[in-house]
Amino acid sequence: MNRTLQRGFTLVEMLVVAPIVILAIGAFLTVIINMTGEVLASRASNTLSYTVQDALNRIEQDVKQSSSFLATNTVTLAAANAQGYNDDATAFTNVGGTSNTSIILNMVATTGNPISTSSGYVYLKNKPNACASAQGVNTPFTYNVVYFTKVDPVTNISNLWRRTVMPTTYTDTTNTVCTLPYQQPSCSPTYMDANTATATYCKTNDIKLVEGVASTDFIVQYFSGESASTVNDTATNTSASTPDRNTALQSATTTRVSITAKLTAAGRDVERAASLRVSRLDTNASSIAVVTTDGVPAAPTVTSKLSGTTDVSFVWPKVPGATTYTMQFQRNGGAWTAGTTNSTALGYTVTGNNHKDVINARVTAINAAGTSGYGTNAFTVPLWAPMNLAGSWSNYSQPYATAAYTKTSAGVIFLKGLVRSGSGVIANLPAGYRPAKYIMFQTSSLDVGVRVDVYPDGNVVMVTGNNGWYSLDGIAFMPASTTYTAPTFQNGWINHDATWQSAGYMTDSLGRVQLTGLVRAGTYTSGTPIFTLPAGSRPSEYMHVLNDMSDTVAHFGVDAAGNVAAKGYGNGYHSLQYMFYPAGRATGTTCTTQWCALPLQNGWTMYGGTSSGFGSPQYTKSADGIVLLKGLVSSGSTPQAIIATLPAGYCPKERLLMATISNNAYSRLDVIRQADGSCQLAPQTGSSTVWFSLDDLRFIAES
């Protein structure tokens, strides 16, 4: 009987085979799972290696471009902007603070991607130049980049982050920056996600560089140079103060950064570590500090100096944070006058001053936050300006006056000085200190009367004399801008020619009559009038005035009737330079507004007595400091005996050698300052006790 073939397993067979199959499948799955885990762990390890290296590359790029390492952020943090460590105003510190170990870099903002050759620096506006002008000398605009570790609240993993911290003024092209920077502020993604509607300041998320980096696995060290091997311990000393760490970091140019990242992948622990040593490219840039929102600027420090003869220049350095300045000045306590208003200028010159003027200046610095207090300075214009002597001329020596010139507040130009060793042109006076035409004076040189001319181009010229010594003391005249009244000539007298100053008279602002001119060709018999001054321009008494007559010593007279009279010396030419107070100035004891009696000494008396009509010996000082003497004296104990002593306050600073007329001949009078500030009137060579004229002797009092 045939049996049919049956397929399949019996129950017994199934019970035997099934466990074997299950075991085989499990073993296969185990192999597959193990192989997958290895692949996943290997992939995670490779990714971690890449991200660690990428983070170091990013740090390297930033460090090279940075201006300095910082101990804490220099950009002021505002809680509302969420740029602090805890998404508030919590400061970053390089060690020891809430942010643990961090790298804080000061960076210069750029107009585009900093690695692009077309990008330039962003500069601060008006510091010092306007944006439309050269900006290369302006202060760069800076910000902070911070590398720090922080736990992600979602994954609870500590990660390494990069944050860009910007000043609040980074978009203010009106007051702060010349152009918008390429860089923008960043905040944590957690904060940005939670505050989508209100997080308007930050424009992007922080960059998460590496996951799994604990604060202890982010190690930063600093060195003083690229090849230095000694670690700058102060820079990372948690016991050191922030200023001390910052000082240490300013001197550091190089950093070594080590990153260790640890993660779990496919049930396996993955760890990768790498380090980098990098130096800042510009090792001298640590002084470029971040500029935050300006407060009210400090008051400027104002200094001054003489500019020209009487102009005063006031200058001040740039004030940090200031955009403009306002300068005012004041003369001699008068009203304040605007020099500059809201100007970027760092100086101003006050012109049109007089000698001895006190010029006060006050300057404020201004920016959007407000106006500083005043920076002040005062400058007194010197009484005398030194002459720049020409050729081989030089000053004689103390105690004689050095060559100098001045102009009083009433406009009278004075010269002084004892010079020697030259010829021809002695010096040149600047514009404003020159006569309109040629004028001529008698002066002293080696104890004889000599001629000196002053030209309209400013040249002071020795015409006759000896260069052993040559006196400029007492030469005085009015400037070219002066308007004179022409007199009516008498007795054949006329002006010399068009080159020389025409005869004229005027009254200056302090009431003194000023005579000028070169005349010739008239009747020269003694007492013959050349012309007559009108009432109000006449002296109260007869005066004997030294002058030059055809290169020789002469004198002319001015009487109470106003007659300007020849004295019999000839009619070749006569110089009429003279200054006097007209009748009406009182006599008393207030010597700055009146004539005071000269305290005569050594037998000197008034010539002819009070009824003679000749000048009484007196002195006075006007408001511009000019001391005038007058009078005719005689009968001294000796020709060279001291005539009188003037009190302190009425004397020159140095010994002056003045020329005058005595008994119809040249004579010299020295004004000799004493230790107590008084001064003696001491006749010298050529003096006579018959009569000695003090008329027309003049000088400037100095304290």
Distances, alpha carbon 558 to alpha carbons 10, 465, 541, 544, 561, in Å: 166, 28, 8, 7, 8
Within 10 A of 435 (CB to CB), how many other CB atoms are there? Answer: 22
Q: Give the pLDDT of residue 41.
A: 66
Single-letter amino acid code for the residue at 504: G
CA distance 661 to 658: 10
């030419």: which residue's tokens?
Answer: 573
Sheet bearing 218-223, strands edge to edge: 218-223, 254-265, 268-279
Domain count, the chain: 4
CA distance 246 to 694: 77
Whether 615 is covered by a domain: the verdict is yes
Question: Do 364 and 398 belong together in one domain?
Answer: no
Give Cβ neighbours of residue 67 (< 8 Å, ≥ 6 apart).
106, 107, 108, 142, 280, 282, 285, 286, 288
The confidence band for 37, taking pLDDT boundaries of 50, 70 and 90, is low
Tokens at 500, concatenated: 């020389």
Whether 356 is covered by a domain: the verdict is yes
Question: Do 256 and 204 belong together in one domain?
Answer: yes
Question: Do 362 and 408 belong together in one domain?
Answer: no
The pLDDT tens digits for 139-151 are 899 999 999 999 9
Of the residues 380, 400, 420, the one at which a domain ends: 380
What is the SS3 assignment for 177?
strand
CATH number for the domain that contains residue 660: 2.60.40
Average pLDDT of the residues of the chain: 92
Strands (E), 517-647: 518-520, 529-532, 543-549, 552-558, 563-565, 574-575, 578-580, 596-597, 605-606, 618-621, 626-630, 632-634, 644-646
Give the least confident one: 83-97, 255-269, 350-364, 632-646. Answer: 255-269
Whether 541 is covered by a domain: the verdict is no
Question: Do 430 and 307 belong together in one domain?
Answer: no
Give Cβ neighbours of residue 368 (< 8 Å, ≥ 6 apart).
175, 294, 323
Average pLDDT over residues 267-280: 92
CA distance 130 to 153: 47
The pLDDT tens digits for 479-500 are 999 999 999 999 999 999 999 9
CA distance 273 to 157: 17
Question: Do 334 and 419 belong together in one domain?
Answer: no
CB of 164 closer than 8 Å to CB of 145: yes
Average pLDDT over residues 584-595: 96
Question: Do 137 and 260 belong together in one domain?
Answer: yes
Average pLDDT over residues 72-77: 90
Residue 276 belongs to what domain range? 41-287
Question: Do 354 and 279 belong together in one domain?
Answer: no
Question: Do 202 and 267 belong together in one domain?
Answer: yes
Neighbouring-strand partners of residue 385 = 405
The pLDDT tens digits for 373-395 are 999 999 999 999 999 999 999 99
The confidence band for 1, taking pLDDT boundaries of 50, 70 and 90, is very low
Q: What percentage of the chain's residues is helix, strand, coil (to nearest 5)?
A: 10, 35, 50
What percent of the chain is modeled with pLDDT above 70? 94
Single-letter amino acid code for the residue at 152: D
The confidence band for 318, taking pLDDT boundaries of 50, 70 and 90, is confident
CA distance 528 to 521: 13
CA angle 180, 182, 187 (to 5 degrees): 105
Phi, psi (deg, nearest 5) at residue 609: 80, 180
Question: Do 237 and 137 belong together in one domain?
Answer: yes
Tokens at 396, concatenated: 């004689």
pLDDT at 32 over 70: no
Of the residues 427, 456, 477, the one at which a domain ends: 477
Question: Do 215 and 82 belong together in one domain?
Answer: yes
Tokens at 279, concatenated: 């130096």
Closest by Cα among 420, 460, 666 to 549: 666
CATH number for the domain that contains residue 311: 2.60.40.10
Whether 234 is covered by a domain: the verdict is yes
Closest by Cα among 478, 471, 412 to 658: 471
Whether 311 is covered by a domain: the verdict is yes
Question: Do 275 and 189 belong together in one domain?
Answer: yes
Question: Do 372 and 401 belong together in one domain?
Answer: no
DSSP class of 27: H
Task: Pick the more confident residue, 475 or 24.
Answer: 475
CA distance 500 to 478: 14
Distances, alpha carbon 109 to alpha carbons 128, 165, 254, 429, 502, in Å: 18, 11, 21, 56, 73
Whether 579 is covered by a domain: the verdict is no
The pLDDT tens digits for 285-306 are 655 555 545 578 899 999 999 9
Neighbouring-strand partners of residue 507 = 513
Q: Give the pLDDT of residue 293.
A: 52
DSSP class of 703: -
Phi, psi (deg, nearest 5) at residue 58: -65, -40
The confidence band for 208, taking pLDDT boundaries of 50, 70 and 90, is very high
* Max Cα-Cα span within the chain: 197
Give the least confident one: 263-277, 283-297, 413-427, 606-620. Answer: 283-297
Q: Give the pLDDT of residue 368.
A: 76
CB of 158 closer than 8 Å to CB of 68: no
Phi, psi (deg, nearest 5) at residue 395: -70, 150
Give the least confident one: 1-5, 164-168, 171-175, 692-696. Answer: 1-5
Q: Exposure pattern of 197-213 as b/e (b: 16+ CB <10 Å)?
A: eebeebeebbebbbbbb
Whether 60 is covered by a domain: the verdict is yes
CA distance 253 to 226: 7
The confidence band for 40, taking pLDDT boundaries of 50, 70 and 90, is low
Of the residues 287, 319, 349, the one at which a domain ends: 287
The pLDDT tens digits for 597-621 are 999 999 999 999 888 899 999 999 9
Give the least confident one: 10-14, 85-89, 239-243, 570-574. Answer: 10-14
Q: Give the pLDDT of residue 302.
A: 97
